[in-house]
């Protein structure tokens, strides 16, 4: 159910996604969807929470007992693997875009806080380094959302190469 909802929200966002489309993709009736989640917003919030859980789990498994830069490197690689699922990336971007809603904003903040505190504890790096790690992750989100890896434009190649070097 969450996978079907995530796929629909990834395409058309919170406001543009119909519960009819989600139910159809999940192969269930719309009333059953509402019986499970109550509202479209609660379903969207559950998708946000699940997205952060998947990211946190991948980073935790990748970093294991590593610390410092090695931990950051392992977590960064794990995150890049998650972005291979375009629906995951776009659903994440849609959650940020829907932060005008206070409940959505709080869910995103809560998930991001959990992710931040995990990476901070696991890596043990200073706050400035941690900020650069997350900033690069956001830039990578934008690069992936624009599908710049398929571009031959010089500026796109330079940006991607710069991320690899940084």
Between the alpha carbon of residue 49 and those of residues 13, 91, 161, the distances in Å are: 16, 11, 32
Q: Are 128 and 114 in contact (CB under 8 A)?
A: no
- Average pLDDT (125-154) is 95
What pLDDT, on the 0 to 100 scale, is given for residue 163?
86
Share of the chain above pLDDT 90, in %: 96
Whole-structure pTM value: 0.92
Mean pLDDT, residues 115-125: 97
């Amino acid at each position: 159910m969450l996978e079907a909802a995530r796929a629909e929200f990834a395409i058309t966002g919170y406001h543009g996604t119909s519960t009819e489309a989600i139910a159809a993709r999940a192969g269930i009736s719309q009333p059953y969807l509402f019986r499970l989640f109550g509202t479209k917003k609660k379903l969207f919030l559950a998708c946000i929470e699940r997205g952060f859980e998947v990211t946190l789990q991948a980073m935790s498994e990748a970093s294991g007992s590593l610390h410092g830069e090695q931990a950051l490197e392992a977590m960064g690689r794990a995150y890049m693997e998650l972005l291979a699922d375009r629906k995951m990336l776009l659903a994440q971007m849609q959650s940020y875009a829907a932060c005008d809603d206070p409940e959505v904003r709080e869910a995103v903040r809560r998930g991001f806080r959990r992710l931040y505190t995990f990476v901070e504890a696991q890596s043990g790096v200073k706050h400035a380094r941690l900020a650069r790690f997350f900033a690069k992750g956001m830039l990578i989100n934008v690069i992936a959302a624009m599908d710049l890896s398929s571009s031959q434009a010089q500026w796109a190649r330079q940006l991607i190469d710069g991320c690899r070097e940084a």
